[in-house]
Structure formats: C-alpha cells, structure tokens
Amino acid sequence: MYLPPFSYVVPQSLDEAITLLQDHLPEGKVLAGGQSLIPLMGLGLARPTALIDLNGVRDLAGVSEVNGSLDIGALTRHRALETSPLVRARCPLLAEAASLIGNIRVRHRGTIGGSLAHADPAAELPMVAAALDAVIEIRGPNGAREVPAERFFLGLLLTDLAPGEIVTSVKVPVLKPSSGYGLAELVRRAGDFAIVSACAVIERNPAGECARASLVLGGVGPHPRRIRPAEALLEGRPLTEDTLRRAADAVPSEVTPESDIHASADYRRAMSRVMAQRALAAAAARADHPGGGGFHGN
C-alpha cells in the first residue's frame, strides 16, 4: 500500500497540536490510532498534506471517574476500554462495545477519540456514546467546548468538529444499579462493521416500570439514530414482552437506510426492528437483575 506524500509532525502538548493543525489547514489531519485514516489514504480517498500525530500528547489517554461520569481521554485505546476494571464495573456497555470492534490488532491501536471523530454510522462507539448521553469535549484555537454525542454526529463521516478542532476526551455517565443495557449486531463475520446494530439502555423504577429508556440504531442512516418514539412507548410502563415488542415495532418507520452491496434498504429496515427488540430484551433482563449486568466478554 503506497501513501501519497505528506509531512509528519509529533507535537508534545495539546496546545502545540492545535497550533500545528491550524498551520496545516485545510488539508492537515490529526492522526490518533490511524485505523481509519491510513486505509483511506491507501485507497486514495484521503490525501492530507500533513499528519499531526497526537500520540506524543500522553495526557490525552486514560480513564478516571469524576462526579458520576467516566472521563475518557481521546487517545484511550479500544483494548483499554475493553479490559479496564473501572469501565467494566461502572459502564460495562462501553467495554462490551469495544470488544466488538474489528480484531485484537485494531483494538490495540484504535482510539475512542478517533472513532468518534471519524463518525462511521456503522461503528459501535458513536452509537453507544449517543445511547449513554455521553458528552464529547473538544479543543481548538478558540478554546474548549462540550457537545452532547447526539448532536455531535451530523451525517456520513461528518461531525460538529470545526476546522482546527480536536476531540480531547469523552464524559460517559456511569450506569446506575437499576439500569440494564443491550447490544445487538447483524454482521457477516465477527469483527466486521455491522449491517444493522442496536444499543439500548433501560432504567427501572422501584415499581418495576421503565423510568428511562434510550434506544439508538446504527447502520440505518448517515449517523447513529436515536429512536425517541420507541423510548416513549417504554417509559412509565412495565417492561413486559408486549411493551418491548411495541417499542421495537416503532423502529422501522424512524430509520432511513440505504442499499449497498451488503444489504438492501428494505432488509436493513426489517432487521432494525429485530436488532432493536434483541437489544431491548437484553437491557430489560439486566435491569431486572441488579448487579447482574456486568460485562463478561474476553
């Protein structure tokens, strides 16, 4: 694989990285794990004149808990999310999602910030970030700002990032003991991008009813799609099989899939209901058994 010519710089601080990115606009690109950008360059679909490698900015990696949320540095690798005892204990949904990404080599290099900034509509982490009401922290020449994940993803490989801005961290609320989660993916082979995927988070109240629900679909439109009509059918109701089925039935009319070589739009729309129902059922089951919703993957 031959790459087009480019300059390569390795800043040692975030401020230096932002300055270098400004100097190389509009064709400079930030390099984190490189699992999306480098293949695009190899295919000739991206031709940056400069790569600003963030891996020298060491304080952009790591996971900590602050005020009820996990604060995850943008350079945190997928494998670190998958194996972190803190993530597994406080937000196992995130660990399970990370375990589904690509293969072990990809997970050792890919980063959460890179995945969110790339904004592939079939990727796991953008969908999960939206389902968890995560907040994405951004820094640029005009300072820092925070964007809710649901508003961060604007379209196919398109985000709210302005030229010269960099994703620096992600704040993910920890899952409450009364909450459960579910992930469902339709894939051709393990590690492939999902044809259709669904992520559900359900919180029960003391009466056993749904106090809050979040349902997000991936692979069925230009960005992760939150299905609020389905959530409304769940909230305030007992989580019976009939309630979950009615919520899943509301999904197909809310998605806008396209046909490609992997699946037709009609097939994706039909599978959106199936994946939603599976994710909702798993979330409801975990919410019904407090303490039993931990991640037990590899």
**pLDDT tens across 143-154, in order?**
999 999 999 999
212-250 tens-digit pLDDT: 999 999 999 999 999 999 999 999 999 999 999 999 999
pLDDT surpassing 50 at residue 298: no
pLDDT of 290 reads 59
Nearest to 33 by CA among 80, 76, 81: 76
Q: How far is CA 2 from CA 14, 24, 165, in A?
A: 30, 22, 28
17-75 tens-digit pLDDT: 999 999 999 999 999 999 999 999 999 999 999 999 999 999 999 999 999 999 999 99
294 contact partners, CB below 8 Å, separation of at least 6: 88, 89, 92
pLDDT of 297 reads 46
Distance CA 258, CA 49 (A): 32
Measured in degrees and rounded to the nearest 5, phi and psi for residue 137 equal -95, 135
197-222 tens-digit pLDDT: 999 999 999 998 999 999 999 999 99
What architecture is domain 7-54?
2-Layer Sandwich (3.30)
Q: Count other C-beta atoms under 10 Å from residue 264's C-beta.
A: 12
Q: Which residue has the higher pLDDT, 297 or 199?
A: 199
pLDDT surpassing 90 at residue 191: no
Question: What distance, in Å, lies between the first and last C-alpha atoms of the chain?
Answer: 32
Q: Where are the domains of the chain?
A: 7-54, 62-173, 179-287
Give the mean model confidence (pLDDT) for residues 272-283: 98
When pLDDT is cut at 50, 70 and 90, the band that residue 291 belongs to is: low
What architecture is domain 62-173?
2-Layer Sandwich (3.30)
Confidence (pTM): 0.94
Please name the fold of domain 179-287. Enolase-like; domain 1 (3.30.390)
Query: Which pair of structure tokens corresponds to residue 261?
Result: 């070589």
